[in-house]
Amino acid sequence: MKTFDELANPWVGRLGIYEPGRPIEEVARELGFESEEAIVKLASNENALGPSPRALKALREAAEKLHRYPDGGAFYLRQALAAKLGVTPEEILPGNGSNELIELLGHAFLGPQAGIVVADRAFVVYRLVADLFQAPTVAVPMRNFTHDLEAMRAAIRPETRLVFIANPNNPTSTLVEQDEIDRFMERVPDNVIVCFDEAYIEMVSPERQPDVLKYVREGRKVVALRTLSKAYGLAGLRIGYAVAPAPCIALLNRVRQPFNVNTLAQAAAVAALADEPFVAQSYELNRRGLADLCAAFDRLGLPYVPSFGNFVMVKVGRAGAVYQELLKRGVIVRPIANYGLPEWLRVTVGLPEENAAFLRALEAALAAAS
């Protein structure tokens, strides 16, 4: 009798698997804490403030209509995004998180003879999706933990279809500036679609935020990916969107599943987009939290990478051991050895009391792991 493995497409068994952060409830149970409230989770780059209050109100109202299918065209959400971003609704595609949109790009453009160029320490999902479509990946070393756009341009081959630029990047938290992007776009070959993944863009100060939507408005081969998981606090609803020229969006619509964005996500997103005070509060909380964390790292003599996201990467030495010691003390952070960084941890910015609890635990963890 044949096994499932023998019946599967031969490359499926070789695919990598994304490793999510650990649930708070599971850590509390394993370590004997009385409740999940005793755990500080700073592992998944979530918004410490929670969801937008306007989004919560919209969720309650939308819950009464869950017997109906979602709006398959996300009409009101696309209208709201178009007005906010200065593009047309036909240039927007909402998705079940940015990850679905990355996969849709794979469906539309990737294959064994159509591959990607990425930075070697960029978001791992780009490679996972390329592998899913048996597409070749060219990984270009970063320079100072930042995308080296000149080297990435030089790595483009005739068979390259997508170049992914995470900006700010996860897990390194670095930013590619506008002038570097403009130079890259001046020389990028016509056979390439450039995908800017801007999941953390709202955490960047307004004067430092690069404008890649101008290339969409010009009809260039550019896709911008954004999410409401971070600044808007809607990670649990899985809602993101792509902005691209209308012909590209039309292709992505052909490969997406019907009703890919659920009713609650659409309603919450429309409401959250109008909650500008909440986004401003999220930005300010993050700015102050990063300053506090980095000041503590300086005091402890720990190297870190200056951050443009809502997280920071810090070098602690034996990161696996420090991570385990932090767990014992009820603090969850993210080890990033899978990115080739075994001495580093990624720490999400939390509420002030969560940041303080982490720093207390870190000093004890460093001593215990030494």
Instruction: Specify the pLDDT at position 15.
Output: 81
CA pair distance 267, 55, nearest whole angstrom: 7
User: Is a pLDDT exceeding 80 seen at residue 70?
Assistant: yes
Structural domains present in the chain: 4-50+277-369 (3.90.1150.10), 53-274 (3.40.640.10)
3-state secondary structure 199-222: CCHHHCCHHHCCCCHHHHHCCCCE
**Residue-level pLDDT at 1:** 87
Indicate if the pLDDT at residue 6 is higher than 80: no
> Residues 158-174: pLDDT tens digits?
999 999 999 999 999 99
User: What is the pLDDT of the chain when averaged over all its residues?
Assistant: 95
Provide DSSP, 135-169: --EEEEPPBTTB--HHHHHHT--TTEEEEEEESS-
pLDDT tens, position by position, 127-140: 999 999 999 999 99
- What's the mean pLDDT in 102-125? 97
Amino acid letter at 76?
Y
What pLDDT does 337 receive? 95
pLDDT value at residue 218: 97
Residue 14 confidence (pLDDT): 85
Mean pLDDT for 346-368 is 97
What residues contact 185, with CB distance under 8 A and at least 6 apart? Answer: 194, 215, 220, 222
**What is the average per-residue pLDDT within 341-352?**
98
pLDDT over 80 at 203, yes or no: yes
Per-residue confidence band for 236, with pLDDT thresholds at 50, 70 and 90 = very high
pLDDT for 291: 98
Query: Which pTM does this prediction carry?
Result: 0.94
122 phi/psi in degrees, rounded to 5: -90, 175
Whole-number CA gyration radius for the chain: 21
Distance of CA 119 to the CA centre of its chain: 15
- Written as six digits, the tokens of 14 are 């070789």
**What digits encode the pLDDT tens for the residues 16-62?**
887 776 677 777 777 777 667 788 999 999 999 999 999 999 999 99
Determine the 3-state secondary structure of 57 from DSSP.
Answer: helix
pLDDT in tens, 261-288: 999 999 999 999 999 999 999 999 999 9
Averaged pLDDT for residues 340-344: 96
Tokens 């403030």 map to which residue?
A: 49
